[in-house]
Amino acid sequence: MIEKILRTRVNSLSSWLVGFVCGATILIALEHGYEGSWYLLSTMMHRPQVAPPAFGYRILFPLLAAQLQKVLPSLTDHNCFTAVQAAIIAVTVYLSGAWATLFHPKHGRLLGYALLALMVCPTIDYWTFYDIAIVGFWTFCFLLLHHRRFLSYMAMLAVATLNHENILLIIPCAVAYNWGRMRASRLICFAAAQVAVWAGVRFMVTFLVPAGRLFDNRLWENVVFWRHYSLVSILSAWAILIPWWLIAWLGWEYAPRLLRCSAISLPGLLLVTMLFGRFDEARQFAAFIPTCIGLIACWLRYETGGKDTAPASMAAS
């Protein structure tokens, strides 16, 4: 009995230690980034209305950083940014461990921590308030969908919209996941309610923070990408993404319904990047990290002896 208690405590301590190391690694990688002239921390925190499109509408964490500075005026803008990001990283690391545990109950927590750090760190270059938080919000929303806590999911969708508008792409995933699990009338209401929540929050933000255009149109730049991006930058970005996606593909055969539905986000992310983003920035696909973590966890669970296609906790999912 004592031996079992000690083993449990050692495992718990080891888990927290690995989580701390992975979180610290992400924070250190963030500190090695830089402040871009197009994303000045002071502008985002104090004058989002003059920010370039569409940065000024992603107000959640710049607003929190500005409030922190009011409470502690001695903190610089960078200090406030770092403090807010440290909290975001801690929560995202925890959520990634909980998420991976669904698919690999034995080692999923440690796997989630490590995979998050390995996937996020190479995508960090210039500072933003929202990139790492995107991973956290998408992970949390998927966890809420799994546990069928739909009201909490809707609330989190609203908050996530304040962070980044690409949370819209989770709606098709949620609808597909509940297809056949809800009556048709309820599913239609669920889909409409999600769109209404997202649109309502976006309208509120654009009304309160009139920061110019909602989007920065980059379609033509991406069509003739060789004129606007260097070959090295494009190859570097996709050298970060493609290997993880290929490894994740190995877990597709063993993935439960929720993970397969979450993968619906990838075409949407590709389309949004084509229209409004840059294909030389791996960070454009941060929202796909939770799906990759889950698929890799499924694959590793199978390879290490879990020969059933899905954990018992996900069998009905």
Identify the CA nearest to 270 among candidates 282, 261, 260: 282
Diameter of the chain measured on Cα atoms: 68
Q: How much is the pTM?
A: 0.94
Tokens encoding 281: 């920035």
**The pLDDT value given to residue 304:** 85
* Backbone conformation region of residue 233, classed left if phi is above 0, alpha if psi is from -120 to 50, else beta: alpha
| Spans of all domains in the chain | 2-314
**The pLDDT value given to residue 65:** 98
pLDDT tens digit at each of 317 positions of the chain = 555 544 555 567 888 999 999 999 999 999 999 999 999 999 999 999 898 888 999 999 999 999 999 999 999 999 999 999 999 999 999 999 999 999 999 999 999 999 999 999 999 999 999 999 999 999 999 999 999 999 999 999 999 999 999 999 999 999 999 999 999 999 999 999 999 999 999 999 998 888 677 778 888 888 888 888 888 999 999 999 999 999 999 999 999 999 999 999 999 999 999 999 999 999 999 999 999 999 999 999 999 876 555 555 565 45
52 contact partners, CB below 8 Å, separation of at least 6: 38, 39, 212, 216
**The pLDDT value given to residue 317:** 58
**The pLDDT value given to residue 5:** 47
Residue type, 13: L
**The pLDDT value given to residue 228:** 85
Class of residue 288 by CB neighbours under 10 A (exposed 0-12, middle 13-18, buried 19+): buried
Tokens encoding 13: 């301590």
Identify the CA nearest to 245 among candidates 221, 267, 224: 267
Do 214 and 161 meet the contact criterion of CB atoms below 8 Å apart? no
**The pLDDT value given to residue 52:** 87
Helix (H, G, I), strand (E, B) or coil at 15: helix
Looking at the DSSP bridge assignments, the partners of residue 126 are 34
**The pLDDT value given to residue 11:** 62
